[in-house]
């Protein structure tokens, strides 16, 4: 066995993962960005994704118009069904035949869609930024990864914001309609200048900062409000970050660029309009729901808001008789922010690559409902990911029928500083190993914590901080299941939990401890664990039973507490022995108990 660094007595509890995944994972695009910003190890952090486990060509349903370049990428890999304008019922019917779904903002991917998929839907790709039309909690619960294309339409949306700002300040839409109606009303459509005016950018993310940059070029004084934006990024382009109240009270123009979340829903309402400068002008290319539309009509009527230019609406398309749409001080476009030729090609490629990659089980850079793990961290953890799943798989098979798994403790021994070892992937894989052998649930990184919680399994994690070299991320992983009976009593620790420990040796996962016995078994194929009276000839006896049935033994290892007392023999087998052979092993007089475990 590899010499392990000696543990110090310092142990500390990491965190209790019994929280549901959905409550911990990003529920809005801004959250996923902030996670990304936290990563210091990689410029482009990635996410481990679902392996779709597809034998045949997968089917991808594209429910809204997607750029040709993206369709080509999809067609090279999958059967692509482009069905636009599906009713909710038609979508629910089709989805059970699809492995992936690609949408824009016009398709509502509701809980019913995930339920109707019968577990086949593995990835939803949003060809754009906003994922407010996708029920993320339902996606997570169904183990479905949601990816978006967060960058390719940023400039298009920013340019549209500027276009609306300029058009609105000079009454372009109203004047155009008037000329077309045969009028020539030069004095009616005198506008206001942008130069020297204060623009408040609400939401200083990708689009907001591009709008700010362009507005600076127009000679505007730009301030921004964004509780999560780093001040240095704002400073770098000469923008001051201010409070919400200060932004709306000092602005001549307000441009909205935040995601629609519970916190931003109707953030412009009667109360906040009342705090604005009389005559303020408002641009919205974010989401209709961030404005209370009825309150906006009142603010337009009272003159608080001089004009509004809106690309997005609470209901799309809005009702034809909407007072807001028909208001003479309102300029509208039908959600065109992302609709440039260039942006649509870019978005289509970005989403097609993400969806194909996810279906292949590769890493996804733009997952919005799974933890982000930088690529190099993942590469390093790969053998430990295998080890984690296999330990979970073995541990749960040791549980005697009838005793439900409730409490699992995972202990990581490592010389790395706690902040330098991200265990979310390992925890998810242990959960997968624990749950999949005893259920029909497909567990992945997206739904692992949620599934564990749903099944009442509380997983706690602990770290043992080792002295020694932090070169390797982990020395060992230990999985303990408390308050259960074991099929194999020798797997119980002194305090009565099922306890397994594993290590990575030469890049391969090994089982290194069962209960209090040291063993050394490479974790592949299947394993027979026997407890026997430690005496000569035992290995030969078991091997000959297996040999008679032509079951290939890949390795054997014996661990004992003291010579000539009890020993545990771990035998790796390539084929599954018959019941008769297993019985014969059990009948060998010195064998006190044994168990057959599949990996």
Ligand X SMILES: O=C(O)C(=O)COP(=O)(O)O
Ligand Y SMILES: NC(=O)C1=CN([C@@H]2O[C@H](COP(=O)(O)OP(=O)(O)OC[C@H]3O[C@@H](n4cnc5c(N)ncnc54)[C@H](O)[C@@H]3O)[C@@H](O)[C@H]2O)C=CC1
Name the pairing type of β-strands 59-62 and 100-103.
parallel
Minimal distance, residue 121 CB to ligand Y, in Å: 22
Question: In this complex, which beta carbon is closest to ligand X, that of residue 129 or of residue 372?
Answer: 129
Minimal distance, residue 310 CB to ligand Y, in Å: 10
Known catalytic residue: 316? Answer: yes
Q: What's phi and psi for 173, nearest 5 deg?
A: -65, -45
Given ligand X, ligand Y, none, residue 202, with its beta carbon under 5 to 8 Å by kind, binds ligand Y
Question: In this complex, which beta carbon is closest to ligand Y, that of residue 103 or of residue 519?
Answer: 103
The two three-digit tokens of residue 223, written as one number:
């301030």
Given ligand Y, ligand X, none, residue 568, with its beta carbon under 5 to 8 Å by kind, binds none
Given ligand X, ligand Y, none, residue 104, with its beta carbon under 5 to 8 Å by kind, binds ligand X
Q: Provide the 3-class DSSP secondary structure of residue 508.
A: strand
Question: In this complex, which beta carbon is closest to ligand X, that of residue 194 or of residue 260?
Answer: 260
Question: In this complex, which beta carbon is closest to ligand X, that of residue 316 or of residue 592?
Answer: 316
Given ligand X, ligand Y, none, residue 207, with its beta carbon under 5 to 8 Å by kind, binds ligand Y
Contacts with ligand Y, residue ranges (CB under 6 A): 29-30, 33, 129-130, 150, 153-154, 157, 202-208, 225-229, 257-260, 263-264, 285-287, 311-312, 335, 337-338
Dist. CA 98–CA 257, nearest whole Å:
33
Minimal distance, residue 330 CB to ligand X, in Å: 19
Minimal distance, residue 398 CB to ligand X, in Å: 49
The two three-digit tokens of residue 188, written as one number:
């009616």
Q: What's phi and psi for 47, nearest 5 deg?
A: -125, 140
When CB distances to ligand Y are compared, the closest residue is 205
Question: In this complex, which beta carbon is closest to ligand X, that of residue 201 or of residue 396?
Answer: 201
Nearest partner of 329 among 526, 478, 188, judged by Cα? 188
Give the other-Cβ count within 10 Å of 547's Cβ. Answer: 13
Which is catalytic among the residues 142, 221, 225, 287? 287
Which is catalytic among the residues 89, 316, 376, 580? 316
Instruction: Please give the helix or strand (H or E) that residue 61 lies within, else none.
Output: strand 59-62
Minimal distance, residue 110 CB to ligand X, in Å: 17
> Rg of the Cα trace of the chain?
30
Kindly state the DSSP code that residue 134 receives in the 8-state scheme: B
Minimal distance, residue 337 CB to ligand X, in Å: 6
Residue with tokens 């497909």: 442
Question: In this complex, which beta carbon is closest to ligand Y, that of residue 205 or of residue 473?
Answer: 205
Which is catalytic among the residues 126, 160, 221, 335? 335
Alpha helices in 468-578 (DSSP H): 538-548
Dist. CA 572–CA 220, nearest whole Å:
72
Dist. CA 531–CA 383, nearest whole Å:
28
Residue with tokens 């749950």: 435
Contacts with ligand X, residue ranges (CB under 6 A): 104-106, 127-130, 153, 335, 337-339
Nearest partner of 394 among 239, 560, 596, judged by Cα? 596
Known catalytic residue: 225? Answer: no
SS3 content of the chain, % helix, strand, coil (to 5): 35, 25, 40
Name the pairing type of β-strands 100-103 and 123-126.
parallel
Given ligand X, ligand Y, none, residue 74, with its beta carbon under 5 to 8 Å by kind, binds none
Minimal distance, residue 247 CB to ligand Y, in Å: 9
Kindly state the DSSP code that residue 530 receives in the 8-state scheme: E
How big is the chain, counted in residues?
599
- Number of helices (H), then strands (E), belonging to the chain: the values are 20, 25
Using an 8 Å Cβ cutoff, are 124 and 100 in contact?
A: yes
Alpha helices in 303-447 (DSSP H): 323-326, 341-359, 375-397, 424-435
Minimal distance, residue 128 CB to ligand Y, in Å: 6
Question: In this complex, which beta carbon is closest to ligand X, that of residue 28 or of residue 153?
Answer: 153
CA distances from 228 to 224, 232, 243, 371 (A): 11, 12, 12, 19
Question: In this complex, which beta carbon is closest to ligand Y, that of residue 203 or of residue 559?
Answer: 203
Given ligand X, ligand Y, none, residue 300, with its beta carbon under 5 to 8 Å by kind, binds none
Known catalytic residue: 335? Answer: yes
The residues that are catalytic are: 287, 316, 335
């Amino acid at each position: 066995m590899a010499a392990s660094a000696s543990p110090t007595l310092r142990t500390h509890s990491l965190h209790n993962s019994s929280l549901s995944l959905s409550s911990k994972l990003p529920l809005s695009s801004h959250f996923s960005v902030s996670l990304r910003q936290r990563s210091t190890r990689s410029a482009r952090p990635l996410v481990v994704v679902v392996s779709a486990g597809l034998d045949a060509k997968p089917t991808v349903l594209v429910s809204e118009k997607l750029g040709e370049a993206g369709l080509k990428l999809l067609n090279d890999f999958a059967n692509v069904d482009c069905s636009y304008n599906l009713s909710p019922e038609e979508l629910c019917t089709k989805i059970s035949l699809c492995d992936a779904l690609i949408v824009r903002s016009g398709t509502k991917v509701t809980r019913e869609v995930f339920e109707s998929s019968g577990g086949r839907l593995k990835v939803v790709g949003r060809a754009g930024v906003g994922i407010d039309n996708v029920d993320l909690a339902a996606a997570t619960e169904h183990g479905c990864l949601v990816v978006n294309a967060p960058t390719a339409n940023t400039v298009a949306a920013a340019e549209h914001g500027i276009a609306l700002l300029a058009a609105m300040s000079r009454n372009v839409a109203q004047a155009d309609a008037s000329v077309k109606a045969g009028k020539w009303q030069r004095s009616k459509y005198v506008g206001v200048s942008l130069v020297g005016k204060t623009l408040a950018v609400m939401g200083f993310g990708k689009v907001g900062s591009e709008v700010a940059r362009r507005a600076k070029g127009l000679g505007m004084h730009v301030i921004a409000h964004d509780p999560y934006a780093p001040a240095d990024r704002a400073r770098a382009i000469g923008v001051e970050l201010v409070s919400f109240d200060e932004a709306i009270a000092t602005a001549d123009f307000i441009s909205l660029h935040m995601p629609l979340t519970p916190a931003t829903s109707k953030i412009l309402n009667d109360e906040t309009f009342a705090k604005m400068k009389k005559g303020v002008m408002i641009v919205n290319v974010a989401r209709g729901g961030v404005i209370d539309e009825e309150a906006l009509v009142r603010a337009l009527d009272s003159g608080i808001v001089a004009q509004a230019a809106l690309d997005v609406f609470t209901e799309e398309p809005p009702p034809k008789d909407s007072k807001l749409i028909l208001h003479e001080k309102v300029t509208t476009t039908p959600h065109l922010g992302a609709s440039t030729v260039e942006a649509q090609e870019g978005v289509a490629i970005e989403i097609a690559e993400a969806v194909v990659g996810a279906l292949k089980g590769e890493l996804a850079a733009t997952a919005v409902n799974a933890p982000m793990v930088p690529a190099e961290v993942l590469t390093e953890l790969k053998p430990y990911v295998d080890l984690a799943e296999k330990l979970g798989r073995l541990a749960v098979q040791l549980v005697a029928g009838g005793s439900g798994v409730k409490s699992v403790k995972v202990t990581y021994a490592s010389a790395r500083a706690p902040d330098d070892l991200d265990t979310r992937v390992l925890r998810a894989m242990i959960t997968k190993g624990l749950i999949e052998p005893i259920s029909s649930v497909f567990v992945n990184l997206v739904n692992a914590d949620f599934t564990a919680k749903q099944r009442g399994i509380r997983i706690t994690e602990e770290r043992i901080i080792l002295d020694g070299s932090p070169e390797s991320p982990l020395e060992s992983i230990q999985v303990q299941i408390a308050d259960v009976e074991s099929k194999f009593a020798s797997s119980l620790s002194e305090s009565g939990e099922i306890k397994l420990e594993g290590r990575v040796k030469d890049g391969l996962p090994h089982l290194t401890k069962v209960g209090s016995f040291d063993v050394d078994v490479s974790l592949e194929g299947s394993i027979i664990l026997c407890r026997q009276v430690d005496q000569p000839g035992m290995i030969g006896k078991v091997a000959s039973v297996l040999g008679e049935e032509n079951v290939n033994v890949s390795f054997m290892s014996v661990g004992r507490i003291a010579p000539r007392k009890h020993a545990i023999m771990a035998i790796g087998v390539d084929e599954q022995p018959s019941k008769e052979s297993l019985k014969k092993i059990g009948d060998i007089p010195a064998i006190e108990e044994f168990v057959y475990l599949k990996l």
